[in-house]
A and B are shown apart, each in its own frame.
Chain A
Amino acid sequence: MRWAIDHASRERLQDQIAGCVRGGVATGELEVGEQLPPAAELGAALSVDRNTVLAAYRQLRDDGVLEFRRGRGARVASGGPDLSAVTEAARSLIATARLHGLGRNEIIRIIKELT
């Protein structure tokens, strides 16, 4: 599993970590039932506090992406939210943006302004 976070970004670190997991689930890099790294270990690798990782994991559990089991850590939940509609909408957004000559950064800027 690949993780990329930006300490200089204004987006909260826990949201960025949660975003990595969501992305991993959406692309299939994380399979259902796969165990995520323990919070302390991921935190050390990303140079963030363990509690930040735990906050991200908890946020994902509340959204039904992960499930916690005692002694077995955080796992990717089965039957999590279906993101295929979002992916499909994003594809059409990108296609429309390309038609109007907008690049990747412009699309991201528009999304950032709207959210």
Chain B
Amino acid sequence: MTSPPLAGDGTHAVYTGRTTSWTTVAATCVAGVLLVLMATSSGGDWSDLVIVLPLLLIAIGVLADVLTASSVRATAGPNGFTIRWGSVGWPRCSYPLDRIARAEVIDLPWWRVSWGFWWTPWRTSCTVRGGPTVRLTLSSGRIVTVTVPEPAAAVAALHAAGAARHDA
């Protein structure tokens, strides 16, 4: 495994943060329970394979979602900004510094929260709550909005890395 080249004078100031998408976790659990109720109310027998197999699939789905949505990680620093969704780190979005035109902290109203990971031709949104949120504007015009525990620290790390890059 090779390390990316050093930025600036060799000092790396990096911010890492982890958030949990409680809404995704809760929604999956509720949906899972509803599916189970529907399956059992349709008059199936527990010993029936037709009932057990879907139940197993639902259980796996809920488990997978709880595992993945409970950990949304972001790193910001000289190697750019990276978002990793879930314990396996997928989907993953990485934006090197030279592709980030602007980084700022915005106050996200709750009705603009995406409650998950969304990718559209113009926007990438990975927000799990309202309030202070990191907003990146890429040089391509794409707008990236990400929830991190301390948005100001993340943006400060990106600005410091950008300044060190220009000095070098």
Contact = CB atoms under 8 A, between A and B. Distances in A.
B120 to A, nearest CB: 25
Contact of A3 (B14, B18, B71, B79): B14
A31 B79 CA distance: 26
Interface residues of B, number: 28
Given A2-B15, A2-B153, A44-B82, A49 B10 contact: no
Contact of A41 (B3, B15, B75): B75
Given A3-B12, A37-B18, 16 more contacts: A2-B15, A3-B16, A6-B10, A35-B18, A38-B89, A41-B75, A41-B84, A41-B89, A42-B14, A44-B82, A45-B12, A45-B14, A45-B75, A45-B77, A46-B12, A50-B1
Interface of A: 1-9, 35, 37-38, 41-50
Interface of B: 1, 3-7, 9-18, 71, 73, 75-79, 82, 84, 89, 153, 157
